[in-house]
Every structure is written in structure tokens, then in C-alpha cells.
């Protein structure tokens, strides 16, 4: 008698080649494109499954774990894992994995794209043009703020923060400052030409503040009215980390009153819902959480999540475990 193959759920539609790979190892239930499960539906779909391939949109918390006692692994297609209650997963003996490294450069490219679009008013001016409002050219038409040679302040100096720093320092001759939980070693600081400063100094000195820190419970509203008040009136704020890091109401007020020049946001506290205040101010560039969205990178992320599922459910090991103590208690 052959042992039955493990059953897994792909909780959100993935590329055909990823599903094909998984079907070589598992009984796979996939999710059609455009279908998104509520927490109750997700728990129902996971009945009898030992593995789940998730995205940032699926929460794996104590309630889900209690409803799905057979679950052994949740493989997130994301480097961030704030949708996982990791202590609860560890307590339930469920492994969590993420997708570091494969998205670093692509996400840094987008961070820079958003910075450029925000500083140089790309979206705002395009809306103006499309609305047929362009009648005359003038010297100050959509005059923005400088990028090259300006001061780039990076909050959160992990892999993506360093990749953004390299672009700023080497590509745009920017003066790079950063703040992080721990200071980088001298070699890494030299590679990014970055100088460590306090959080207060970062907000006060930067012409462009870029947020790339992980979203832990203590990071909630790291950027609130007080931090925004420290920023220069000509400064921009770019968020490609997680929406909850910024107090969006405080940001809307600052943008409306032009206390800072502009903001570029790829992430939102209640996404996919967007704070209506943000939709009502012109000096903000808004994108729907697409910083890692190129086909090669999203494929690499999904393949890494697939490889984690295969490695763990067939060989008891994982490539990028978040709570390795589940594997080797
Ligand atoms: C993901 C992200 O695409 O990796 C992350 O943490 O924010 C994005 O790259 C998104 O979270 C979907 O899972």
C-alpha cells in the first residue's frame, strides 16, 4: 500500500508553473484567480490539509490554528510575515516560512520609483494632463523637489533598506543616513555609503524618508504627528513597508496643510481599503502594494514558498524557516 500524499491548499491563485510543481508532490486544492477567502472560509478549506501556501492577505492566528489541527506548515509568499502569529504557530507546532532575498532588488527598484514619482510629481501631473487641464506651460508647472544630491533617510536598514541606500548613494549621489534597531557593521555602512543617525535626526535631516522596517507590534504608528512635525516642509515620506507603521490621519493632515511636500504609499493600514483622506489630497502617490510585483520576482517568491512546502512535508527541513524550533525542538 502506498502512503497517501500530503494535502495542501494554495490559498490565493499562483502561476501555473508553481501549481504544477506542487502537484508533483501533493494533493493540491487551489484557489481560482479573483477568489479571496474569509477567515472562516480559509479554516474550512484547510480541513484535512497539512500545508498552506499563503500571502500577506491570509491570517494564520490562534483561531485558525485551533480550527485546523492537522496543519503543519504555512508558507508565506512574502518576506514580511505580520499575517502570522508566530508565537501561536510555534506553540501549535506549525512551521512558518517566508521569502527573503529573492525580492530585495526588485522591491528596492520600486522604492526608488515611488520616491522619484513622489518628488517629481509624476502622478499628480499625469492626472492634470489626462483631465485636459494643461493649457499653457509655465516655469513652475509641477515643479517638485530635488532627488540627486539630496539627503535620503532610510528607516529600517535590512536587505531592502541597504539596496535602496546603494541606489541613492551610487546612482544619485545622495547623502544617505539611516536608523535601525542595530547599527550596521562598518563594511556594510561603507558599501551603502550610509551614516547612522538617531530616529529624530533622521526625520529632521532627510529630504526623503523611506520606510522599510518590519511590521512588528511595536512598529505600529512609528511615524505619527510628532515624527511628521520634525520633517522639513520640502520633504517627502515613502512607505513600502506596511501601512500600520504610519498614522494615516496625521499624514493626511500634514499633506493637506503642506507641512511636508508629498508622500508615496504602496501600503495602507486597512488595505485593500484606503483611508478616504488619502484619496482626497493631491500630493500623494498611491499604489496597490506592488513593490515586489514583477513576473520574475513574484514567480521566484512563489517558487521559494513551494520549495519550503516540499522540503518540509517530504523531508522535514525548510529553506527559510521563521520558527526553526518547530523543526528541531
Ligand atoms: C508581497 C510584501 O507581495 O514580501 C512582502 O512582505 O509586502 C510583498 O512583497 C505581499 O505581501 C503579498 O504577500
Nearest atom of ligand 1 to the alpha carbon of 78: 4
Atom of ligand 1 nearest to the CA of 103: 9
Q: Which of 289, 298, 315, 317 is catalytic?
A: 289
CATH number for region 104-286: 3.40.50.720
Grid cell digits, residue 92 = 501549535
Of 294, 318, 289, nearest in space to 75 by CA:
318
Neighbours of 128 (CB within 10 A): 15
Q: Does 56 sit in the ligand 1 pocket, CB within 6 Å?
A: yes
How far is 184 from 162, CA to CA, in rounded Å?
10
Find cell 477567502 and name the residue. 37
In the chain, list all ranges with CATH 3.40.50.720: 7-102+295-326, 104-286
Q: With a 6 A CB cut-off, is 14 part of the ligand 1 pocket?
A: no
Q: What is the pLDDT along the chain (329 residues), one digit of tens a residue?
A: 677 899 999 999 999 999 999 999 999 999 999 999 999 999 999 999 999 999 999 999 999 999 999 999 999 999 999 999 999 999 999 999 999 999 999 999 999 999 999 999 999 999 999 999 999 999 999 999 999 999 999 999 999 999 999 999 999 999 999 999 999 999 999 999 999 999 999 999 999 999 999 999 999 999 999 999 999 999 999 999 999 999 999 999 999 999 999 999 999 999 999 999 999 999 999 999 999 999 999 999 999 999 999 999 999 999 999 999 999 86
Cβ(58)–Cβ(11) below 8 Å? yes
Question: 249 with 277: CB under 8 angstroms?
Answer: yes
Residue nearest ligand 1's atom 9 by CA: 292
Hey, whose CA ends up nearest to atom 5 of ligand 1? 78
CATH of the domain spanning 7-102+295-326, picked from 3.40.50.10490, 3.30.420.40, 3.40.50.720, 3.60.60.10:
3.40.50.720
121, 167, 179, 242: which is the annotated catalytic residue?
A: 242
Does 302 contact ligand 1 (Cβ within 6 A)? Answer: no
Category of 2 on φ-ψ map: left (φ > 0), alpha (ψ -120 to 50) or beta: beta
289 belongs to the catalytic site:
yes
Q: Is 242 designated active site?
A: yes
Distance (angstroms) between ligand 1 centre and the Cα of 134 equals: 37
Measuring CA to CA, how many Å separate 11 from each of 82, 235, 302? Answer: 17, 40, 12
Residue (of 249, 195, 242, 206) closest to 225 by Cα position: 249
Which H/E stretch holds residue 127?
helix 122-130
Query: pTM for this one?
Result: 0.97
- Alpha carbon separation from 313 to 58, 162, 209 (Å, rounded): 20, 34, 42
Amino acid at each position: 500500500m502506498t502512503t497517501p500524499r500530503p494535502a495542501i491548499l494554495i490559498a490565493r491563485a499562483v502561476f501555473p508553473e508553481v501549481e504544477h510543481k506542487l502537484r508533483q508532490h501533493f494533493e493540491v486544492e487551489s484557489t481560482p484567480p479573483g477568489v479571496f477567502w474569509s477567515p472562516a472560509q480559509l479554516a474550512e478549506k484547510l480541513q484535512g490539509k497539512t500545508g498552506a501556501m499563503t500571502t500577506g492577505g491570509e491570517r494564520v492566528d490562534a483561531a485558525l490554528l485551533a480550527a485546523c489541527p492537522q496543519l503543519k506548515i504555512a508558507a508565506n509568499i512574502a518576506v514580511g510575515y505580520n499575517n502570522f502569529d508566530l508565537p501561536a504557530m510555534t506553540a501549535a507546532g506549525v512551521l512558518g516560512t517566508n521569502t527573503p532575498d529573492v525580492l530585495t532588488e526588485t522591491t528596492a527598484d520600486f522604492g526608488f520609483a515611488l520616491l522619484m514619482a513622489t518628488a517629481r510629481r509624476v502622478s499628480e501631473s499625469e492626472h492634470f494632463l489626462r483631465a485636459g487641464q494643461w493649457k499653457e506651460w509655465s516655469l513652475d508647472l509641477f515643479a517638485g523637489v530635488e532627488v540627486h544630491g539630496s539627503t535620503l533617510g532610510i528607516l529600517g536598514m535590512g536587505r531592502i533598506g541597504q539596496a535602496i541606500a546603494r541606489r541613492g548613494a551610487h546612482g544619485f549621489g545622495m547623502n544617505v543616513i539611516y536608523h535601525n534597531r542595530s547599527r550596521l557593521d562598518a563594511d556594510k555602512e561603507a558599501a551603502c555609503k550610509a551614516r547612522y543617525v538617531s530616529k529624530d535626526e533622521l526625520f529632521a535631516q532627510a529630504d526623503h524618508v523611506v520606510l522599510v522596517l518590519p511590521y512588528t507590534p511595536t512598529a505600529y504608528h512609528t511615524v505619527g504627528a510628532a515624527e511628521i512635525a520634525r520633517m522639513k516642509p520640502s520633504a517627502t515620506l515613502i512607505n513600502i513597508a506596511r501601512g500600520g507603521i504610519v498614522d494615516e490621519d496625521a499624514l493626511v493632515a500634514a499633506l493637506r496643510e503642506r507641512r511636508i511636500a508629498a508622500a508615496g504609499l504602496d501600503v495602507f493600514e486597512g488595505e485593500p481599503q484606503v483611508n478616504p483622506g488619502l484619496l482626497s489630497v493631491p500630493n500623494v502617490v498611491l499604489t496597490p502594494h506592488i513593490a515586489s510585483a514583477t513576473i520574475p520576482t513574484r514567480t521566484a517568491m512563489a517558487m521559494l514558498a513551494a520549495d519550503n512546502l516540499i522540503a518540509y512535508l517530504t523531508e522535514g527541513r525548510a529553506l527559510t524557516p521563521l520558527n526553526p524550533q518547530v523543526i528541531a525542538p
